[in-house]
Amino acid sequence: MKKHGALNSEIDKLLADLGHTDQLTIGDLGLPVPTGVKKIDLALKLGSPSFEEVLSVMQQEMAVEAIVLAEEIKTENAEQWQLIQKTFPNVPIRFVPHEAFKEETKESKAIIRTGEATPYSNIILQAAVIF
């Protein structure tokens, strides 16, 4: 049994399989999952696990070179926006309208569904290379 990091076997395998520029989405309860994209559903109850909890584990486990966010997060969920800036201070962020964000999730290797119930608590993480 693993002692640290992502203990969810699906997430652990997903992270190990990611290549440079592959994308992974972390989403709130309401983010739709496009047909053909793997969904890893962690939602246990409303608010649990939180977006912050899942994002923290991903920050520790995944090399990230770029982020995509819905531009609406800046005005509609300042708390999550501040969290993302604090968690990934040196990672470039590209903003797109929320509808375009949902389209971009079609390129993700998987969407991790959290129990988060606040608007625009969604992020696309683009994998970096570790060398």
- In CATH, what number is assigned to the domain containing residue 56? 3.40.1650.10
pTM of the predicted model as reported, rounded to 2 decimal places: 0.96
Q: Is residue 90 part of a domain?
A: yes
CA distances from 59 to 42, 46, 76, 87 (A): 17, 23, 23, 7
Residue 1 located in a structural domain: no
* Tens digits of pLDDT across the chain (131 residues): 667 777 889 999 999 999 999 999 999 999 999 999 999 999 999 999 999 999 999 999 999 999 999 999 999 999 999 999 999 999 999 999 999 999 999 999 999 999 999 999 999 999 999 99
- Domain-embedded: residue 14: yes
| CA atoms of 105 and 123, how far apart (whole Å) | 9
Residues of each annotated binding site for substrate: 28, 98, 120-122
Select which of 5, 7, 20, 60 is catalytic: 20
Q: Is residue 15 part of a domain?
A: yes
Q: Give me the domain span that covers residue 116.
A: 9-127
20 is a catalytic site residue: yes
Annotated binding site: 28, 98, 120-122
Domain count, the chain: 1
Which residues are CB-neighbours of 74 under 8 A, at least 6 positions away? 81, 95
